[in-house]
Chain A
């Protein structure tokens, strides 16, 4: 009964979305206020229906109602409650429902918070948002109904995949979706602007916070997913350049470029067509990601049960959304008046460079991801493009981005002067260069790539944070005074410095990890030990430990460094009841300098166990760096500029009394 209610709510949502996609659009075109006013209540109603449907499905999962096919296939009555709840989006149908929930949620948010938005623009944005909603609702209702019943009702569900019962894995999809779907806002605003034929700074101010929020969510989602891979898959990797990972990384790269080009539109009223294009592309890449994951076009370890019929539907939808918006772009972009001119060495120039490089990096990932498909389509050969390709192409493209990230924010708008820049950044450069030299001199076997990575990351950290400190301290100000000044700095400037420094921390962690990690594989008997990264790991014994639905072989290892005993490492191999699946639980011991990572392998049958141990230096700096980037994004999001004055189209920029923020 509740499942049918959910199904019914989806049908109502579709009808509402159809109204929302058409009536306000026509109203805005004809200047009919009553029709324009339909958008807001429709957006609320669509969201409400999505909430009803979502909770109906969650109810079925929590109650283990196996008469619902999706519940039967991906849940089990013995699952802990948390995983019953997260199981809602752990399958194709439910994850689509979550997508729809978030999509309509963003629509409702525009309706609620966009009070100051010009009503016509708002109506058009909501109409475009509803068009996307119509596509997804048709998709879910016709190809992937989450409320499908089965008869006879099975006694027990099939979904007890132990590998998937993990908090990191369970919570990262909602963040990814908040990111993907969040970019739909930028898309809707872009298409609405093309329909209106007007893009101005007020428009950019509206788009920026939505994009920034989506970017933060996507960053969290990607980081959580990669963190999960690191501690759960048992070989210490964190990124595989797998098609599904790339599918989330491409919108991130494009979204990052969009964030930056929107600044230029907002501050300088130029780069408009490019920004609109980026907004379209970012969301298109999100949709493409959905297509890749669900159509079976590319094989991947992450893919949902794939189905070509669904693939065909998504492809049709993709052609409609991306093809339609790009056609609109082709027709209208020339009409967008170019704004202010700028010299190559200027803030605009630096942001443009950032955009070009990020777009190239994104295109590289795109090519690497789709090349196997293209080759298969042309010649029938099956290849896979692996990490060597991405490492060889992606990293060199990102390197200049990292260097320029420090210089760009210090350049003035319109025209800058490079020699002044050299003066200001001399300190940061000297610190970075000496960090590189010291590492090279102190640590034997340091490669030049490692030195370059360290120099550029220190450059980023110091170069991003130092100007902030300088602005706060000023000349000869007292400590108290500077604290006040630091707090009074625009939040967007603080956020930017933090986010850029976060990239620096991330690159530093990555460089040190890839250059200096050590790895040992050895067969150990009780009492024997091995050395890795300065640690001595001694196997005491292996014992059987019963868990709730598994039996674990737990290795007990003494860990010592320089003769001092530390916490023992307790890696496990878990064999699950009723399934042949074995999962590896690595023992990860965090230390100040990195993680000691111990994995228990198979018994050799003669009393020994294969043991793999890594020392992963600075690996936590990567997670910290990613968290710092997101933190920077959140700080910037709290800037008053995003809340006050943004939507007022009449008095743009001039005399608004706001500081020219960075």
Chain B
């Protein structure tokens, strides 16, 4: 046997191992620069038809979930019932209504129900930019000091809620003296 004929197989073995390791990694998990940093300063008026606005001051004092949503966003509709559920457990869920028409947002909350303890209408998307939002929905878990501890991109499903978001919330709640 000529030794050269084994070379392709050897090269492929190295590549296959690299691909195998690559599968364990998650390139789509882009590290957010905001993790461990205080949430950006902002103050938003409430979404039309609701009474409490949202500002960065509201994020302090207890562990909360900030959910960025919009009426035009189909996946938001999918995750919406989960927020209703979480809100009932007593964890405050705040909503930032991203680049939406006031009437559409109001109609959306009226028809699907409003799980949000407070809402902020981010009409021009400025606050969204400060939060580093690049797709809706996005969800942040903020600790009692107003520091962002987790960022979840895309619609939250039951699995993500129970394995990532709620455990984080409980962990942060336990940390509080």
Contact = CB atoms under 8 A, between A and B. Distances in A.
Interface residues of A, number: 38
A326 B9 contact: yes
B9 A579 contact: no
B129 interface: no
Nearest to B15: A370
Contacts of B5: 273, 329-330, 333-334
Is the contact region of chain A dominated by helix, strand, or loop, or is it mixed? helix
B interface, size bucket: 20 to 34
Interface of A: 158, 273, 277, 280-281, 284, 291, 295-299, 306, 308, 311-312, 315, 318-319, 322-323, 326-327, 329-331, 333-334, 370, 372-374, 376-377, 382, 578-580
B72 A376 contact: no
A333 B13 CA distance: 18
Contact of B23 (A312, A331, A333, A334): A312
A291 B22 CA distance: 12
Interface in B1-29: 1-2, 5-6, 8-9, 12-13, 15-16, 18-23, 25-28
B18 A370 contact: yes
A315 B18 contact: no
A615 B23 CA distance: 43
A326 B12 contact: yes
B16 A318 contact: yes
Given A370-B15, A580-B99, A327 B23 contact: no
Contacts of B30: 382
Contacts of A370: 15, 18
A315 B72 contact: no
Given A295-B23, A298-B27, 14 more contacts: A296-B23, A308-B23, A315-B16, A315-B19, A315-B20, A315-B23, A329-B8, A330-B9, A373-B18, A377-B21, A382-B31, A578-B72, A579-B72, A580-B99
B74 interface: yes
Nearest to A300: B27
Contacts of A299: 27-28
B28 A306 contact: yes
Contact of A334 (B2, B15, B16): B2
A162 to B, nearest CB: 13
B9 A333 contact: no
B151 to A, nearest CB: 16
A312 B26 CA distance: 13
Contacts of B19: 291, 297, 315, 318, 373
A299 B72 CA distance: 26
Interface string B54-91: 00000000000000001011100000000000000000
B27 A330 contact: no
Interface in B85-116: 99
Contacts of B21: 377
B28 A296 contact: yes
Contacts of A327: 9
A326 B23 CA distance: 23
A296 B13 CA distance: 20
B74 A158 contact: yes
A315 B24 CA distance: 12
